[in-house]
Chains A and B, each alone.
Chain A
Amino acid sequence: MNKVSAHYGHIRALRDVSLSVEEGEIVTIIGANGAGKSTTLMTICGIVPATAGEVRYLGRSIADIRADQLPAMGLCQVPEGRRIFPRLTIEENLDMGAFFRRDPDGVEADRNLVYRLFPVLFERRSQYGGTLSGGEQQMLAIARALMSRPKMLLLDEPSLGLSPMISQHIFRIVRNINEERGVTILLVEQNANIALKLADRAYVLETGRVVMEDTAARLRENPAIRKAYLGQ
């Protein structure tokens, strides 16, 4: 099933970007800084308006849908830089993730699941988001998105500013979420190395244009990609 087919031209940031994500896949978008990767996710969510083209989710156009209606449809973003709520406690942050939900039992079940996946969040659940370390904030951001019981997650540079070990840990959890819960993942990453190890397929973005599209395995072998993004 076609989850997202996006074909939009945005004069300043994105030009004629087309990509699609199938259900259950992990797709990543890699590229250098300023290539337009974050803009892509923000345009999907409608925070940045698309000046041309259309975005489709679950077979229908979501151009006229407000950003805050998307989590109810199963699409949730973990924005760049975490953007957790610093003066709310971890518990309250998670509650905000489930804000639109009307099934308290389901929310409770998801909260237990999230605490199982991220035990450190359970330990510090009464602490304020602003007091957490970078890695813990990233876990909180992902956990908060998970509280919305998403069908599809948009992850914007989860490894930003984190040590390799913590990034690995987080990516392992992302893979777990995809495999165990069947959540489709669209991942934007600057760290092409771990992104290509995690993903099934990948797009390469350069100055707002898609310059390459292939399976992750083939891209890892591609000499041009190796030189430009994998430091080989």
Chain B
Amino acid sequence: MTRGFRKSWRNFALALAWFYVLLWPLLGIRDGELHFDKSFTVWLRVAAVATACFILYRLGRRGVFNPVLEPAGRLRDAVADRLHRAPRWMLLAPLLLFALAYPLVTNRYAQDVAINVLVYICLGLGLNVVVGLCGLLDLGYIAFYGVGAYTYALLSVHYAIPFWVCLPICALFAAMAGCIIGYPTLRMRGDYLAIVTLGFGEIVRLVLNNWMALTGGPNGILGIKPPGIYLPHFAGGSLSFEYLALRKLEYLYYIILLLAVGTIIAVHRINFSRVGRAFEAIREDETAAELMGVNTFRYKLLAYALGAIFGGLAGAFFAARMRFVSPESFTFIESAMVLSMVVLGGMGSIPGVILGALALVALPEMFRQFELYRMLAFGGAMALMMVVRPAGLWPAARLGKRSDDAG
């Protein structure tokens, strides 16, 4: 055995032992007594899987799998090359068709998951404008989601304003919230910015929780109206409009699909606009951007406001769909989830954020059958991702090309 070989096995054994030490207090101490069997069985299963993975990894390093991996790698490169050269719409059209046909071929559960994914896609893309494009680390993004949701909730319950009329109002309120939250943070960089935005996220949640008179506090707001449309109705030669409340899951799916597609298009346009360039310059080097004539003050506020708008729209949909909002939906953990999607998928990249949202919403659902090990598998997958592809699942195309012969 070579020294490196022994060293890596030793590290592996140490990691397993440490895992047991961590695991045992969680599972082994019960009713004031010490048990060893439950934690041992869990540990044994994880150790078995981990050892198998480790052996596979070592064999892979030694080149045992190359006869399979090399042609597979070549195939993958060839496919990627063809995809790259195909015109854009050829790739998007089947995706769009699939998205449109999705509710027709799946059950309620799958539609529910899809709706969740689409909501998080909107959120992720909105946060992407702030974090990925402009480089402002925002840990309280969920506050804009909450502002949008509560705005629609209050307008719907107290004034019966229809959903579609509320959407621009929610966007406006969210943008205002973005400016309010952005303004004090303008001079801060890095970690300080993160903490302050985190604080603001919590402030919004606490306000929602405690302002009983306005928001009902922890009881939330009930009885929010779903979206509705007026359908033309011909009856005996005269035209009238019939109101149809869109309660069914399929209708809601199409509404959020519309919102998501709109968000994708909008973010894509921002990405390639003058404003987007300014955002990126601020991210790269704020002082240099300022010296080139970029009003960083104004553009940072704009970034917050733009990002907030997408969050607010998603929030309005969320309220309309759940028909009930409470402060519990807008905690820091949600902010962290959205940020994880952006980072996991690849900062600044639209397909990356979409993949990230898919991964972080759809995968835990798929892992449900593992019950106890679900979160472990989830965490393990995240850790693996960070080791294997730190740039994200689908890094922004711009960051990918760094070779001298880039075209």
A127 to B296, CA, bound (A): 25
A24 to B288, CA, bound (A): 25
Q: Which 9 A-B pairs have the closest CB atoms?
A: A100-B293, A85-B284, A71-B293, A83-B288, A68-B295, A67-B290, A68-B290, A96-B281, A77-B291
30 A-B pairs within 8 Å (CB atoms) are namely A47-B287, A47-B290, A66-B295, A67-B291, A68-B291, A68-B292, A68-B293, A68-B295, A71-B293, A76-B292, A77-B291, A84-B285, A84-B288, A85-B280, A85-B285, A86-B284, A87-B280, A87-B399, A88-B277, A88-B284, A95-B277, A96-B278, A99-B293, A100-B293, A126-B407, A128-B398, A128-B401, A130-B402, A131-B403, A148-B293
Check: B42 CB closer than 8 A to any chain A CB: no
A228 to B294, CA, bound (A): 40
A72 to B293, CA, bound (A): 7
Q: Helix, strand, loop or mixed for chain B's interface?
A: helix
Which residues on the B side are within 8 Å of A72 (C-beta)? 293
Which residues on the B side are within 8 Å of A131 (C-beta)? 402-404, 406
Which of B278, B402, B404 lies in contact with A99, CB distance below 8 A? Answer: B278
Please name the residue on chain B nearest to A76 by beta carbon: B291
Check: A158 CB closer than 8 A to any chain B CB: no
A64 shortest CB reach to chain B, Å: 15
A88 to B133, CA, bound (A): 12
B406 with A128: CB separation less than 8 A: yes
A70 to B295, CA, bound (A): 11
Which residues on the B side are within 8 Å of A126 (C-beta)? 406-407
Check: A201 CB closer than 8 A to any chain B CB: no
A45 shortest CB reach to chain B, Å: 6
Which residues on the B side are within 8 Å of A127 (C-beta)? 404, 406
Check: A2 CB closer than 8 A to any chain B CB: no
Contacts A47-B290, A68-B290, A76-B291 known; 7 new A-B pairs at CB < 8 A: A76-B292, A77-B291, A87-B280, A87-B398, A96-B281, A127-B404, A131-B404
Check: A69 CB closer than 8 A to any chain B CB: yes
Check: B222 CB closer than 8 A to any chain A CB: no
A67 to B280, CA, bound (A): 18
Which residues on the A side are within 8 Å of B278 (C-beta)? 96, 99
Check: A37 CB closer than 8 A to any chain B CB: no
A83 to B399, CA, bound (A): 18
A87 to B288, CA, bound (A): 14
Which residues on the A side are within 8 Å of B47 (C-beta)? none
B295 with A96: CB separation less than 8 A: no
| Residues 101-146 of A contacting B (Cβ, < 8 Å) | 126-128, 130-131, 144
Interface string of B279-320 (1 = CB under 8 A from A): 011001101111111111100000000000000000000000
B274 shortest CB reach to chain A, Å: 8
| Residues 388-407 of B contacting A (Cβ, < 8 Å) | 398-399, 401-404, 406-407
B292 with A71: CB separation less than 8 A: yes
